[in-house]
Chain A
Amino acid sequence: MREKEVQTNKIDWVTVFLYLSLVTIGWFNIYAAVYDEQSATSMFDFSINSGKQLVWIATAIGLIVLIMVPDYRFYENLSFILYGMLIFILLITPFFGKEINGQRAWFELGIFRLQPAEFAKFATALALAKLMDSPLFDLSQFKFQWKAIGLIGLPVALIMLQPDTGTAMVYSAFFIMLYREGLPQKYYVIGVIFVTLSLMAIAIEENLYVAAAIGAVGLLVIFSGKYSWKKTLSVLGLCGIMIGYTYSLDYVVEKLPEHQQNRIMVLFDPDIDPLGVGWNVTQSKIAIGSGGLIGKGYLEGTQTKFDFVPEQHTDFIFCTLGEEFGWLGSLILIGLFSTLLLRLVFLAERQKTRFSRIYGYCVVSLLFFHFAINISMTVGLFPVVGIPLPFFSYGGSSLWSFTILLFIFVKLDSHRDQILGRLG
């Protein structure tokens, strides 16, 4: 006999509680972002975003119930099919999607709009988990590395066609999961070095200083420890590549479209053009920074209320919270997110199948990336890219896709004891 599929006592209620808290706080903030004292409408008014978001939240909860119903093996079996379907939809999106702000990333269904790229995230996560499920899948081997990266790269390439750089960037989050699953550490070391180098090359106007610094570090490495010709040559070669990269980066940056160039430059000098490119970041920082320790109070914010911050109910929703609830509000939000993420790491680690664990880490990776980049962007630590704050930002596609992403894992987790699976 089949056991009862939905085992409520096995559901991780900590995760569910954290999820509901974030969604609820998010909803209140969306109302605050659109609130207008002079024409105050009810939070439940469907003509405003908070009312619409309530519809999204209700349907998301419906989705959760749906997710909980099927057999837990359903998701594993469905993963490649789902991935294939979404790749197909992404393929046709640039041709049939509705054009908004120069992007063809949306499908219109009546009054609601859906963004396929959002749903491709959890489809890719499922497919990755399925692909890497086999114990023979060894990430230290080159051919497996390419398989995994190919699976991630395909939707990225298609999303770049829309073009939606921000969403495409999100897929780099899977490197967190790949790290856990044994992708060699050297890739991350090289990655960190090149990111550091890129930042230095852009931040430090005179490339000669960067080159000198690289040379100095190289010499230190050559003459420290045992001296050998082989070491000297390889270090010199590496330094050469790094210096060459530094100089070529300026050229590459100049080749970028101007709005992307500016988004990078504004990180280093927010005053570069406070009314133009710097506007978003400057206004966002003013809104958050004016919150103080305890904030101005709910619905009392002036910067977000009076539209100084653009995109405040979607990508810049954190500004409303920062302004009205101050640093304590930020602390609570970041506390909730990091608790959720650590809880998910804990849950992933207790899975008995590779599939569930890998999927769990995919969830951690995607949520962490969105959370970290979104908040960094609002405080000017990262260039402005259009990615939402999970569970918080206004928008059905984003809320639905994050809910599905999270609750498939909650479902898998609730069945962890039934599986005597392929342990890795």
Chain B
Amino acid sequence: MESHRSIIVGMVILLVSIVLLTKLFVIQVTDDTYLRKAERNAIQRIVDHPYRGLVYDRNNQLLVYNNPVFDLMVIPREFHLTDTTRFCEIFGIHKDHLVESFNAAKKYSWVKPSPLIKQVSNEEFARVQDYLIDYPGLFVLTRSVRAYPNPVAANALGYIGEINKTQLAKDETNYYRQGDYVGLSGLEAYYEPELRGRKGVKYKMVNVRGIDKGSFRNGDLDTAAVPGKNLQSTIDLDLQIYGEKLMKGKRGSVVAIEPKSGEILSLISAPNYDPNILTGARFGRNYLTLNVDENKPLFNRPIMAMYPPGSIFKIVQSLVGLQEGVLKPSTTFSCNRSLVNCHNHPNPVNLFGAIKYSCNPYYHQGFRAMINQEVSSNTFRDTQIGLDNWHESVEKFGLGNRLGIDIHGEKGGAIPTSQLYDRIYGNGRWKYSTIYSLSIGQGEMLVTPLQMANLAAIFANKGYYYTPHLVKAIDGDAELISKKFKEPIYSGIDSVHFDLVQDAMKEALSGTAARAIIKDIAIAGKTGTAQNPAGEDHSVFVAFAPKDDPQIAIAVYVENAGWGGRAAASTASLMIEKYLRGHITRPALEEYVLEGNFIY
């Protein structure tokens, strides 16, 4: 009677089985989101952070190393405190702070470790180490922060910090994660890929409470961390320390370069700061303080500050004039002070004398000869053509564009073209009398201290330079540094023209910077005084020494120090002696420089 119903019952059983198998097929075979969710569930990725590379100076003295710091971690479930007061005494922590961190840890997880006291120093750790055994649920996690044996070269070395959102977004290799430390400035930033090494990864399985259940697939997917590469910097630590000592109480820059290689011997920005204060837990607070300091210690003056070069630019003018044939060694102009102001010196002068006495009217007239070569009968047009030709020659001295040093943030300075003046005054509405300030390194011309030092290197090398750089070897291998630092760049000036200039620069010392003269070391140098409408003039000096076999080219720029022959030339002279001799024979001069205080 009801037997057809038995068939229906059988069919319902089959139908339900098929529905279940279909649903299972969907979640097990066709849809792989569950597989990924399962991996996220049970497999924890533990990153093994590599040691960051160290930085040495050119003589293998340590500049930057890693200092271990200790985070005191707590597992709330295992941590039972009976005597809070004693605990606070031992670990040097305030009770409120302890309660706060412990509550935060509990909130994060009852069984996973969280930091209780962050960044315990090495000394503190040694003190509390023995007490740790009394407190179950506490253990120590070792991390490392950057440390500097000598508090110098902060701006050149740079600092590291937590990666920010923009950097994370730009990271195409997908290497970084939120919370990773990266080089944010200086060498730390530029050589980040070399210094950072390679993170290692361990995959381990955890259960639902986050408790370790061993390695995943017997650790087949795990990778070991590769430590970062060590850098050998071109910096001479002793010279850097000495330079920073001399620049105390002053605002400005000292850049010293080895002319025959472009290696930067010291890169000094004053005022500076102790790089140790921008490490570890102190970073945040100290960075803010430095950032609002009115002396701008974070501003890397040697590569970022741009000034009118002043009289040192007369050397460039002389060389461009010689190369173009507009000026000859014998070319003589009178020191006509109605054109531009000058100081007392023999009159008239030839080119040699013009350099030696830094004669302003000479360059006023000489520069006019370079600009207005009567290529066009239209004076305005002629000036435009002349200026652009001149601009092209000057650019070859590494001016007007970034040199390409191996730290970020370098400024290029500015060398005007006709377009600039067309924009300011209108096409055909300006001529030589509008731009004559350029003749003596003033006006619409800006140069960084690094470019000034590079000029000195060109003068020393008689016509070429190597792109100034701060690193000479990576992991002891000089081949690993960029090729661009090994190719000479020519200034377009024939080397013959440099003989006169070098001689004149040597003579110039006795004229404008007698203090800079060192017995037995021939220095070729040129002073400058950059006019500063806002206050005292800036003091500039570029030099190289020894004149016949240049080992060091240097530029010193001291803001508001007045006439260039004084602060800047003395500092440069002491630096040269320190570098070439290793010691100072003129304590009085040193005393004089150290006493100078030009920050008002």
B-binding residues in A (CB < 8 A): 36-38, 176, 179-182, 283, 285-293, 302-303, 305-308, 322-323, 326-327, 330-331, 334-335, 337-338, 341-342, 345, 348-349, 361, 364, 368, 372, 375-376, 379, 381, 424
Instruction: Decide: A306 and B20 in contact? CB cutoff 8 A.
Output: no
CA distance in complex: A287, B42 (Å): 11
Residues of B240-268 contacting chain A, CB below 8 A: none
CA distance in complex: A246, B207 (Å): 44
Q: In the complex, what residues of B have CB within 8 A of residue A341's CB?
A: 13
CA distance in complex: A123, B283 (Å): 76
A-binding residues in B (CB < 8 A): 1-3, 5-6, 8-10, 12-14, 16-17, 19-21, 23-25, 27-29, 31, 33-35, 37-39, 41-43, 205-209, 213-214
Known contacts: A306-B42, A306-B207, A308-B208. The answer to whether A379 contacts B20 by CB under 8 A is: yes
Q: Which 8 A-B pairs have the closest CB atoms?
A: A289-B34, A306-B207, A290-B38, A302-B42, A289-B27, A338-B17, A327-B28, A307-B208
Jot down 14 A-B pairs with beta carbons below 8 A, ordered by A. Answer: A182-B1, A288-B24, A289-B31, A302-B41, A303-B41, A306-B205, A327-B25, A330-B28, A331-B21, A334-B20, A342-B14, A349-B6, A379-B20, A381-B19
Shortest distance between the CB of A353 and any CB in chain B (Å): 15
CA distance in complex: A305, B208 (Å): 9
Instruction: Decide: B207 and A307 in contact? CB cutoff 8 A.
Output: yes
CA distance in complex: A384, B499 (Å): 95
Q: In the complex, what residues of B have CB within 8 A of residue A372's CB?
A: 16, 20
Instruction: Decide: B33 and A289 in contact? CB cutoff 8 A.
Output: yes
Instruction: Decide: A303 and B38 in contact? CB cutoff 8 A.
Output: yes
Known contacts: A180-B6, A308-B42, A337-B17. The answer to whether A289 contacts B205 by CB under 8 A is: no
Instruction: Decide: A290 and B34 in contact? CB cutoff 8 A.
Output: yes
How many inter-chain contacts with C-beta < 8 Å in the A-B complex? 124
CA distance in complex: A292, B39 (Å): 13
> Assuming A288-B24, A335-B17, A379-B23, what are 18 further A-B pairs, CB within 8 angstroms?
A176-B12, A179-B9, A180-B2, A180-B5, A286-B37, A286-B41, A289-B35, A291-B28, A303-B38, A308-B42, A308-B207, A326-B28, A327-B24, A331-B21, A334-B20, A334-B24, A338-B17, A342-B10
What secondary structure prevails in chain B residues at the interface with A? Answer: helix
Instruction: Decide: B34 and A179 in contact? CB cutoff 8 A.
Output: no
Known contacts: A307-B207, A334-B21. The answer to whether A181 contacts B2 by CB under 8 A is: yes
Choose one: A182, A302, A334; the contact of B43 (CB below 8 Å): A302
Shortest distance between the CB of B16 and any CB in chain A (Å): 5
Q: In the complex, what residues of A have CB within 8 A of residue B38's CB?
A: 286-287, 289-290, 302-303, 323
CA distance in complex: A303, B36 (Å): 12
CA distance in complex: A189, B9 (Å): 15
CA distance in complex: A337, B16 (Å): 11
CA distance in complex: A55, B195 (Å): 63
CA distance in complex: A308, B209 (Å): 9
Q: In the complex, what residues of A have CB within 8 A of residue B6's CB?
A: 180, 345, 348-349
Instruction: Decide: A307 and B37 in contact? CB cutoff 8 A.
Output: no
Q: In the complex, what residues of B have CB within 8 A of residue A331's CB?
A: 21
Q: In the complex, what residues of A have CB within 8 A of residue B13's CB?
A: 338, 341-342, 345, 364, 368
Known contacts: A290-B35, A306-B205, A308-B208. The answer to whether A38 contacts B29 by CB under 8 A is: no
Instruction: Decide: A308 and B41 in contact? CB cutoff 8 A.
Output: yes
CA distance in complex: A334, B208 (Å): 29
CA distance in complex: A327, B3 (Å): 34
Residue of B nearest to A180 (CB): B5
